[in-house]
Amino acid sequence: MIKVEINKKQGKIVSYEISGHAMSGDFGHDIVCSAVSVLGITTCNGIENLTDVQPLYEMEDGYLYIEMPTDIDEEQDKVAQILLQNFEFAIKDVIAEYGEFVKFA
């Protein structure tokens, strides 16, 4: 089971954590694991590429933690929040379709 935790402060997403494995298919062919991984990683990459901000991160097998730094300007924060909210919407869509393999922590 994949667990996703999205942490907010004052209505803004400040971090997210993804842990576990979906086990919905054979290793290397698990579409649920792939979907969640792609969402988590591309959100972080989008923040880096579109805001020039380097989120704090930790990544290892079956685990991804992303945290926004606190010393960013208003425009960087605005763009980052759009990407982070999109991540949350997309994860909710995955959960709606594959809730037996992924859930919010």
Say what the pTM is: 0.95
Residue 18 in this model has a pLDDT that exceeds 90: yes
19, β-bridge pairs: 3, 63
pLDDT digits (tens, 9 = 90+) for 39-91: 999 999 999 999 999 999 999 999 999 999 999 999 999 999 999 999 999 99
How far apart (Å, rounded) are the C-alpha atoms in residues 15 and 57? 9
> Domain residues of the chain, as ranges?
2-104
- The dihedral through the CA atoms of 98, 61, 6, 77 has a sign that is negative
How far apart (Å, rounded) are the C-alpha atoms in residues 87 and 91? 6
Q: What dotted CATH number matches 2-104?
A: 3.30.70.1490
